[in-house]
Amino acid sequence: MRIAVIPGDGIGTEVVPAGLEALDATAARFGLTLEFAEFSFASAGYWQRHGTMLPPDWEETLRGFDAIYFGAVGWPDVVPDHVSLWGSLLQFRRTFDQYVNLRPCRLMPGVRSPLAGREPGDIDFVVIRENTEGEYSSVGGRIFEGTDRETVLQETIMTRVGVDRVLRYAFELAARREAGHLTSATKSNGISISMPYWDERVAAMKDNFPGVRVDKFHIDALAAQFVLHPEWFDVVVASNLFGDILSDLGPACTGTLGIAPSANINPTRASPSLFEPVHGSAPDIAGQGIANPVGQIWCGSLMLDHLGHPEAAAHLLGAIEDVLAFGPRDAPLTPDLHGTGTTAELGHAIAERV
Amino acid sequence: MRIAVIPGDGIGTEVVPAGLEALDATAARFGLTLEFAEFSFASAGYWQRHGTMLPPDWEETLRGFDAIYFGAVGWPDVVPDHVSLWGSLLQFRRTFDQYVNLRPCRLMPGVRSPLAGREPGDIDFVVIRENTEGEYSSVGGRIFEGTDRETVLQETIMTRVGVDRVLRYAFELAARREAGHLTSATKSNGISISMPYWDERVAAMKDNFPGVRVDKFHIDALAAQFVLHPEWFDVVVASNLFGDILSDLGPACTGTLGIAPSANINPTRASPSLFEPVHGSAPDIAGQGIANPVGQIWCGSLMLDHLGHPEAAAHLLGAIEDVLAFGPRDAPLTPDLHGTGTTAELGHAIAERV
Ligand SMILES: CC(C)[C@H](C(=O)O)[C@@H](O)C(=O)O
Ligand SMILES: CC(C)[C@H](C(=O)O)[C@@H](O)C(=O)O
């Protein structure tokens, strides 16, 4: 299997090596051949050298791989975030039509939740985020610039194709899971055109999945319930923006953003899928070697699963859980996990455990 | 002072009487004259009888009052939420140009936070939400209906006037507060036209307030930090949608949505301001008499403050705090506060305390 590796910016470049070490160990144990090719584009450094985020042939290049293993991109001191993101990650998601962004939220053994009295098992759900349209569009503009009449328009665009395919994925996932429960994030009381449409498509899709229990929450109430009743949720399906918010909030409730992985999936396999931790480049802690590599390593597990190796994937996830369960006294957990370990030490411990 | 009272739907009709009792007690103690006129419009019942949410002369009628004391509206079994809300509450906010939605989030004595180890004093911030434009627009539509090409557009609209005036309010508030700290909610890395504009206006406004410490967070990270570090925040300013989400999430972190108040303010006083709890009509618990009246009562305090009676306002808020501090064993706190009291009992206890 040929994997394109893009470390990107900030802590992306620190956690990716730990992720590769764990992947190598897993591949060795399961007799898999993983070939890694590393690329320096999609980073602020590349921008400084070339004035663009990507080389002209990036699409062709990346299409030659089975998957993309991605760190984090964004370094606002050098290039504005909307330029770097629309010039790389958001571009990948769209061009490769990675229309499902799957983000597990699980309270892991050994990790302290900021929520009082929550134990592993209490929080275990998946956010399925629409990943190619919706609120993330670059359609719109500005008029009467620099005057008191200055007005800015930004279009949200939902299509039947785009909404239905991600809903179908989420319903199928819910149907396979034990709880069989799907929650739709909406805001149809306030956002009066796009969100009632979203609700309509959920109602239509529901008829195909009589075994799935369906409910919906407005995004404001849903965010509140993530904190008050995270145990209510199983599969949560959401638009691009709402999924973005919920998939940071969920991991926060499980203790740290540092462990959360995400899979940007094209379920048709017509183009490569991309695996990246939920955390960003984290300029505030970059360069110190203390970033938590677990999100990046867990991404490796999601990638192996996607590539058809569920046993290897489960084994890698198990190794993560084992090491976390030792707790900050007995394992080199990073500061966000209340330990004093470094990125490299924690990565190494997980690779060893594999 | 003449107050228009609109109980609305569901628990709105249950908590408003408790709110009025507390207001009456406060008025009596401070020698104020409050005249209440109750209206049945802006409710599902009115919709059933008239086929509209409001009478034709609603604007003229309400303009005759100094303030509007509002319960909650929305009863989706009878009228779709986007119809009832755009036909009443959202209409009021726009017509009366209540461009500031002020929502305090405070962990109160006697209230258990779902966040581990948090004590009163740890969480005490205010969300200032833009309340008339942004993501809540009814501009947009649908094309190719019922076909595979079905496409839905929903416009976000920001204006310089709209953004600057709410930012100025938030900066002025931050400048007056001890911490002097303002956090702007953005998503300029993903929402690439409207949110960079928001950031630009924040940067421009900042120059007028050298004493205010300013930072910004993307909404996903900000939601996460509300859970991980609520003590970081003082004044949080946000667009209409982001403010909506944050002002439900914040109160959830302080234990219950049931205590959170909000003030929809027209700072120019050219039209009446509106005071309503953050919680909605809550069909799930409506009719049982167990809804928490504190959010509604606290609204009375915000209203008195707005009407120029800060001492009476502070006294009413103090009475709320005193009763909550007794805890569920010694005060008739409602079930969301881990007690067994009813709406009426808790309201009565607070009025007595006043
Ligand atoms: C009911 C709904 C339209 C409203 C809003 O989103 O503004 C409510 O959630 C609020 O926060 O006041
Ligand atoms: C960096 C940003 C554009 C991105 C997003 O909003 O999609 C990130 O927050 C994520 O969740 O992957």
- Report DSSP letters for A1-38, one per residue: -EEEEEEESTTHHHHHHHHHHHHHHHHHHHT---EEEE
Indicate the pLDDT class of residue B235, thresholds 50, 70 and 90.
very high
Chain B segment 288-327 residues within 8 A of A by beta carbon are: none
Instruction: Measure the CA angle with vertex B301, ends B300 and B307; round to 5°.
Output: 85
The pLDDT tens digits for A4-60 are 999 999 999 999 999 999 999 999 999 999 999 999 999 999 999 999 999 999 999
Question: What is the reported pLDDT for B141?
Answer: 97
- CATH of span B1-100+255-354: 3.40.718.10
Reported as a single tens digit per residue, the pLDDT across B237-296 is 999 999 999 999 999 999 999 999 999 999 999 999 999 999 999 999 999 999 999 999
* Closest atom of ligand 2 to CA, residue A131: 7
- Surface of B (141-160) touching A: CB under 8 A: 141-142, 147-160
Q: Ligand 1 mean position to B244 CA, how many Å?
A: 6
Mean pLDDT of chain B: 97
Pocket mutation for ligand 2, best pick of A136, A244, A276, A299 (most atoms within 8 Å of C-beta): A244
| C-alpha of residue A266 to centroid of ligand 2, in Å | 17
Strands (E), chain B: 2-8, 35-38, 67-72, 100-106, 124-130, 140-143, 151-159, 181-186, 213-218, 235-238, 261-265, 273-277
Mutation site for A-interface testing, chosen from B138, B163, B192, B281 by largest number of A Cβ within 10 Å: B192
B261 alpha carbon – ligand 2 mean position (Å):
32
| A1-102+257-354 against A124-253: fold identical | yes
How much is the pTM?
Answer: 0.97
| Degrees, nearest 5: CA angle A187-B133-A184 | 10
As a whole-number percent, the residues of chain B with pLDDT over 90 amount to 99
Contact A349, A332 (CB under 8 A): yes
CATH dotted code for A124-253: 3.40.718.10
Beta strands in B117-270, from DSSP E residues, in sequence order: 124-130, 140-143, 151-159, 181-186, 213-218, 235-238, 261-265
Q: Does B190 touch chain A (CB under 8 A)?
A: yes
Q: Does A284 touch chain B (CB under 8 A)?
A: no
State the average pLDDT over residues A90-98. 97
Query: Can you read off the two tokens belonging to residue A354?
Result: 């594999």
Q: How far is CA A170 from CA A218, A266, A321, in A?
A: 18, 13, 25
- What does pLDDT average to over chain A? 97
What's the pLDDT band for A263 if we cut at 50, 70, 90? very high
Give per-residue pLDDT as tens, B122-131.
999 999 999 9
Q: What is the pLDDT of residue B320?
A: 98
Residue (of B18, B79, B27, B25) closest to B50 by Cα position? B79
Domain ranges of chain B: 1-100+255-354, 124-253
* B159 with A153: Cβ contact below 8 A: no
Is residue B202 within 8 Å of B216, Cβ to Cβ? yes
The strand pair at B67-72 and B2-8 is best described as: parallel
Angle at which helices A343-353 and A310-325 cross, to 10°: 120
CATH topology of domain A1-102+257-354: Isopropylmalate Dehydrogenase (3.40.718)
Question: With contacts defined as CB-CB under 8 Å, which chain A residues touch B152?
Answer: 157-159, 193-194, 197
- Phi, psi of A85, deg, nearest 5: -75, -45
Q: Each residue of B138-184: pLDDT tens digit?
A: 899 999 999 999 999 999 999 999 999 999 999 999 999 999 999 99
Q: What is the structure's pLDDT at A268?
A: 95
Answer yes or no: is the C-beta of B85 below 6 A from any ligand 1 atom.
yes
Identify the pLDDT of residue B231.
97
Q: Which pairing describes strands B181-186 and B235-238: parallel, antiparallel, or unpaired?
A: parallel
Mean pLDDT across A224-253: 98
What pLDDT digit, counting tens, does each position of B14-48 carry?
999 999 999 999 999 999 999 999 999 999 999 99
Measure A344 CA to nearest chain B CA, in Å: 25
Distance separating alpha carbons of residues B42 and B322, to the nearest angstrom = 33
